[in-house]
Amino acid sequence: MILLILLLLAAQTASATVEETRLGPESTWSQQPTPQSTAPGSVWPSVPPATGELRVSVDLVGPKSGQAPTYSTPGKALEYIVTVENLGCSEVDAKLTVNPKSCRPGWFGWDETVLTIPPGGIGTEQLLVTPAMTASPGSYEFAVVATAANSKSGSDEAGFKLQDYDYVSETSISGTGQFTMNKDVRSMNTGVKSNKDVYFSGSVDTLMKNEYLVERAKGSNPNFQGFDAVENYVADNPGDALMGTEVVKSSLVFGGVGAKVQESYNLQGMEYEVQKIDLHHTGPDRRAEFQTVDNFTGYLAIDARQSIPGQRSTREREEFLGAFEIQRRLIFKDEPGPAFSCLDGSCFNFAERFNALSRWA
């Protein structure tokens, strides 16, 4: 009987001990309670939530044409602006990372960069995308991701379409001696006519003559582009010269803007030349544009004109003889007018086109 009483007292003592443990004070985080010992409604520790957010946009520099896709050509740089908005209440160092997706990594001016953005502020960064000359035509996409400590990351995508060239001619020369060059391009599909006759005798660090043709250009792509550059030409001996005649024409009858630019020159020295010609005939902005910056000694003449019967006729001529530095820019524009007939989506006046064949030849 005594043994039975002792066992009952021991059981009551153990029961009281368990009861006291369950009803004691709430545990602290340092005690790391188990789920069974946590009072109902207790909050478990977690990683502090992000206190800010980054909003990203990637936009092409220049005017936008509604929802029309962006078109480009291999080797031509596209300029984008990456804008990052800091929606948080503290300054952040936002890390920008390019995700090339369907593009090649080497096409981008940078792969990673950091922007310091104040609270509620905006940071911008230029991004150049230059598809390689060997890039295949088609659609390409890329994205830019922005991340920062204690901030929700943001990203935005951009894309463009590549058109291939129908004609590419690139020439770069350096050295001493003599050479001649003739380039003749005629495209009745786009109204482009270009001819270059060049004679060289002397020495030069660089002489470049490049031409590119896209007959069915879309978007803001030009149908024809010409890039010329000269660096440090010198006539070494009596009789040496850099001579030539260069003509580019945008035929109105064949779909151009009725403009013509002709250069004639006989130079004894040229420190530098940077020249560009663009002809846009099938895009939304129909124009012929000529730009040149030259530093030379000798003779140079520039004859430019545009003729649109019943609308506009302009002509400018400049001649230089001596030592000069010049900057010249010309833009001729035209809005497409009504046509008499259409064939395969190309509208034209049959009579005017037939009579112009002799002038084109």
Question: How far is 23 from 28, CA to CA, in rounded Å?
Answer: 15
Query: Residue 113: beta bridge partners?
Result: 96
Q: Using H for helix, E for strand and C for coil, what is the string for 26-52?
A: CCCHHHCCCHHHCCCCCCCCCCCCCCE
Smallest Cα–Cα separation from 263: which of 212, 311, 217, 228? Answer: 228
For residues 186 and 254, is the Cβ–Cβ distance under 8 A?
A: no
**What confidence tens digit (pLDDT) does each residue in 175-214 have?**
999 999 999 999 999 999 999 999 999 999 999 999 999 9
What integer is the mean pLDDT of 220-234?
Answer: 95
Q: Which residue ranges form the domains of the chain, and what is each CATH number?
A: 52-162 (2.60.40.10), 167-360 (no CATH)
pLDDT at 302 over 80: yes
CA distance 292 to 328: 5
Express each pLDDT in 57-89 by its tens digit: 999 997 665 556 799 999 999 999 999 999 999
307 burial via Cβ count (<10 Å: 0-12, 13-18, 19+): middle
Q: Angle at CA 335, nearest 5°, toward 331 and 338?
A: 150
Report whether pLDDT(106) > 90.
yes
Return d(Cα 87, Cα 52) in angstroms, integer.
6
Burial annotation 245-259 (CB, 10 A radius, 16+ → b, else e): ebbbbbbbbbbbbbb
Confidence of residue 311 (pLDDT cuts 50, 70, 90): confident
Cβ–Cβ under 8 Å, residues 81 and 170: no
Within 13 Å of residue 121, how many CA atoms lie on the same side as its CB?
Answer: 12
Q: Is the dihedral of CA 318, 225, 76, 344 positive or negative?
A: positive
